[in-house]
Structure 1
Amino acid sequence: MDKDINNKAGQIVIHAYGDASVLEHGSVILPPPGGGEIRVRHTAIGVNFVDIYHRSGLYPLPALPAVPGVEAAGVVEAIGPGVQGLAVGQRIAYAGPPAGAYSTARNLPAEKAIALPDEVADDTVAALLLRGITAHMLFQHVRPLRAGDTVLVQAAAGGLGLVLVQWAKALGATVIGTVSSEAKAALAREHGLDHAINYREHAVPDAVRALTAGRGVDYAIDGIGGQTLVDTLRAVRAFGMVASVGQVSGEVPLDLSMLGGGHNVAFARPSMFGMVADAGLYREAAQATLARLKGGLRATVAQVLPLAQAAEAHRRLEDGANSGAILLRP
C-alpha cells in the first residue's frame, strides 16, 4: 500500500485568474502538519462571493497556483508540534484566510480552528460561520445596532442577507430588504423580514422613504455595489450609515458629495478579513455566531454539490438565482 495514501487530498486549484472554467480538480500529497498546525478532513465547505473575487483576481491570492475557499467544517485528523487544546477526532470549523478550503483535507493554522458544540451541525456552520462573523462585525463594531433601528438589507434572500435579517431582528431592529421575486420575498419574511421591496418593480430609495415616512433607514448594508450602492446611499436618513461589503455588480467611483451636503451619510467599507486577522476579534465573532445558532439562527442551504463541481457552484452563485447558501461536499 502507498505509505502516503492517507495523506492524499482532492482539491480545486486555480492556475490562472478567470471565469469559473479556471477551477480545476486535482489531488495532492499533504505533508504532516507543521508546528502550530492541524490537519482537518473536511465534511462541508462554504461557497462565498469572496471565492469568486479570488478566482477572478479582483482580490488576488498570495500566489498561483492556489486552492480557493475560506470556510469549512470538518474533523481534526492530525496535530502538529506545539498545538494545545485540540484533539484528533474533534469537530471544528473555520472562516477567513489562508485560503485552501476547496479540498478534501488540508493543513491549517490551529489558531483558526473553532471547536463545535454537538448541537451545531457541520452543514449549518459551514453555511453560516463566515456570514455570522460578518454580521457580528457590522452590528457590533461598524455601527452597533440598537433596538428600534431601521435597517435596509440589499439582497435579503441571499446567503448573507438571510443571516443579516435574522441577526438584526434578534437585536430588535425593523428590517427592510430587497428581493427579485415574490418567492424570495416569502423566504426572507420566513426569516423575519418586516418589509420586502422587489427592486425590479420599485425604485428602492422611493420605496424605503414610503416605508419610513420619508425619513430613510438608520443603517443600510450593501453587498452588490454598482448602481445598487448609489440607490442604497439614497435610502439612508441624514446622519445614517451605509456599509458596503461587496461588489457583485462592480465598483462605482464614490462621489463624496453623495455623502455630504444635504445627505450627511456616513460610509464604511469594512473588511471581514481585516477583522479576523485579529485573533481575539475572530474568536469573539465566531463565538457570537455559535451563540446565535444556539439561540435559533437558521441556516438555509440552497444546494449541496460535490467538490468536483465547484465551477458549477460558482456559476450558480454568480447567476443570483439561488436563495440561501451553496455548499460543496468533499
Structure 2
Amino acid sequence: MKAVVMNGIGDAGMLAYVDRPEPVPGVGEVLVEIAVAGVNFMDVGVRQGMAWREMPDPKILGVEGVGRVLATGAGVEGFRPGQRVAWVYAPGSYAGKVVIPASTLVPVPDAIDDRTAAAIMMQGLTASHFATDFYPVQPGDIAFVHAAAGGVGLLLTQIIKLRGGHVIGRVSSSDKAAIAKEAGADHVIVDAEGRFADEALRLSGGEGVHVVYDGSGPATFQGSLDIVRRSGTFCWYGPVLGGPGPLDIMSLPRSIKIGYAVFFDHISTPELLRARTAQLFDWIIGGKLKVRIGGEYPLAEAAQAHRDMESRATTGKLLLFP
C-alpha cells in the first residue's frame, strides 16, 4: 500500500511517498479503500510538531477523506463492503487504505460525489460548529469572517447567510474578493496586514459586529478585539498559525465573550457526527451550500499541497488522490 509518511519535524520536503504494509481491521474497525483525502492545517501542524508527538515515526499523515468499505472487523454493524463512507478524523488518511473505527464513519449519499464528500467533512463541520453551536447566528446578526475565501471561510459565509446573518469578509488579495462575494459575503475588505478594523466598524454602523471568526493568527487578534460590539463574541481558532500571547482580560474595553472553538466539540458522539454531516449533505443536495475545490494533487505530491496551503496559494479545499 502506498502512503505519505513523515520522519521527524520540519519542512514539507521531509514527507516521503513509500510502501507500507496492508492494514487489517480489528474489533469495531472498518478497512476503507481511500478515493480522496483532504488536506488540512491540522496536517501541517502535525508536520511542524504541534500534534501527534506521542506517535512514533514514521507516521502516516492525514485525517480526512472518503472511500469504499473493503472489509469490517468483528462487532461492526451498519457498514458493508462496497459502501461509500467519509470521515473527519482518522489518522493515516494520506494513503491508499486506512483502518477506521466504525463510530467515526458516516455514509455518503449517492447524490454526493467523492470530491465534495472529502471536501466538506472537516471544514464543513468546523464552519457548522462555529455558526450553529459556538455562536448560533441569528437573523440580522453581523459576522466578520477572516480568510473569507479560504475553505472554512467560504463555507462559514454560506452557513451564516443560510441563518439570516450578514457577512463582512476579509481577504488577503483583491483576486480573492470576488470569490468571497460569490459565496454570499455582503462586504469584502482586502487586507493583508491586519488593518481592517476601521472599515469593519464603518460597515457595522460604528457599533461593531456581533461575532468575529478569526483563524488568522496573532497578526489579526487585536483588530478582531477592536471590532466586537458590546456583549459580542470573539471566536478564535487555528492554532497552527500561533496564539496571541498573554492576554490581560482586565484590559478589555467592553463586555465581550472570547472563546477558542474546537470542531471536535461539535461531533462528540457518533449520532451527533452523523446528524451534523447529514445536514451538510442535505444543504449541498438542495443547492444551498457549495464546496470550492482549491487544488487537486496526486498523493505523491502531498509536500507541494502543504507548501501551497502554507503560502495561501489556493482558495477552497485541497485534495489528494491515491
Query: Normalising to structure 2: TM-score of the pair?
Result: 0.95
Residue 86 of structure 1: SS of its match in structure 2?
Answer: coil
Letter in 2 for 1:278: T
Aligned-pair CA distance for 1:274: 4.3
Note the C-alpha offset of 1:93.
0.5
CA contact (8 A) 1:224 1:248 kept: no
- Provide the residue aligned with 1:4 in structure 2: none
Matches for 1:106-255 after TM superposition, within 5 Å: 106-200=98-192, 203-255=195-247
1:289 to 280, 293, 298: 280
**1:200 and 1:138, CA in 2 relative to 1: closer, same or farther beyond 3 A?**
closer
Contact residue 30 and residue 107 of structure 1 kept, 8 A: no
Q: Using the TM superposition, give the Cα deviation of residue 24 of structure 1 relative to its aligned residue in structure 2, in angstroms.
A: 1.2
Higher deviation after alignment, 224-233 or 286-295: 286-295
- Please report the TM-score for the alignment, with normalisation by the length of structure 1: 0.92
| Shift in alpha-carbon separation, 1:235–1:40, aligned structure 2, 3 A | same
Amino acid aligned to 2:275: E
Name stretches of at least 5 consecutive residues in structure 1 with no aligned partner.
1-8
Quote the residue 2:269 is aligned against. 278
Q: Is the Cα–Cα contact under 8 Å of residues 226 and 250 in structure 1 kept in the other structure?
A: yes
Partner of 1:111: helix, strand, or coil?
helix
Give, as a single letter, the amino acid of the residue that structure 1 aligns with 2:307. R
Deviation at 1:224, TM superposition (A): 1.1
TM-superposed CA distance for 1:159, in Å, is 0.9
Shift of 1:61: 4.4
Shift of 1:206: 0.5
Deviation string 1:236-290 (CA, Å, 9 cap, x unpaired) is 1111001111045422114233773x32220110222344343333223222222
Distance 1:118 1:184 in 2: 32
- Residue 306 of structure 1, CA deviation: 0.3
- For structure 1, which segment, 306-315 or 242-251, has the greater mean C-alpha deviation from structure 2 after superposition? 242-251
Count of aligned residue pairs for this structure pair: 320
Counterpart in 2 of 1:265?
256
Q: Which moved more, 1:15-24 or 1:114-123?
A: 15-24
Structure 1 pair 85–224 and aligned structure 2 pair: CA distance change class (3 A): same
Cα pair 1:15 1:22 within 8 Å, conserved: yes
- Aligned partner letter, 1:270: A
Amino acid at match of 2:211: Y
Residues 1:227 and 1:263: Cα distance change in structure 2 (over 3 Å): farther
Would the alpha carbon gap of residues 77 and 256 (structure 1) be closer, same or farther in structure 2, given more than 3 Å must change?
same
Native 8 Å contact 1:259 1:265 kept in 2? no
Q: How much identity, in percent, do the aligned residues show?
A: 35
Match of 1:323?
Answer: 315
Moved more, 200-209 or 25-34: 200-209
**Alpha-carbon contact 1:204-1:235 (below 8 Å) kept:** no
Q: Secondary structure of the equivalent of 1:88?
A: coil
SS in 2 for 1:267: strand
Distance 1:257 1:111, change over 3 A: closer
CA–CA separation in structure 2 for the residues paired with 1:219 and 1:256: 20
Deviation of residue 303 (structure 1)?
1.1
2:7 is equivalent to residue 15 of structure 1: yes
Higher mean alpha-carbon deviation, 315-324 vs 225-234, is at 225-234
Local SS of the residue matching 1:291: helix
1:69 to partner: Cα distance? 1.0
Once the two structures are TM-superposed, the CA of residue 62 in structure 1 deviates from its matched residue by 3.7
| 1:69 equivalenced with 2:65 (yes/no) | no
SS at the partner of 2:132?
helix
Q: CA deviation at 1:310?
A: 0.4
Residue 230 of structure 1 and its aligned partner are, at CA, apart by 1.7
More displaced 10-residue stretch of structure 1: 307-316 or 134-143: 134-143
Q: Does 1:55 align with 2:56?
A: no
Check 1:202–1:25 CA distance in 2 against 1; reply closer, same or farther (3 A cut).
closer
The runs of 5 or more residues in structure 2 that have no matched partner are: none
Alignment equivalent of 1:90, drawn from 83, 86, 90: 83
Query: RMSD of the alignment, in Å?
Result: 1.7
Determine the C-alpha separation between the residues in 1 that align with 2:243 and 2:121.
26
1:27-48 Cα shifts (integer Å, max 9, x gaps): 2122431111111111111101
1:28 corresponding residue in structure 2: 20
Distance in 2 (CA, whole Å) between partners of 1:76 and 1:305 is 23
Paired residues of 1:150 and 1:176 also in contact (CA < 8 A): yes
What CA distance in whole angstroms lies between the structure 2 residues aligned with 1:258 and 1:75? 53
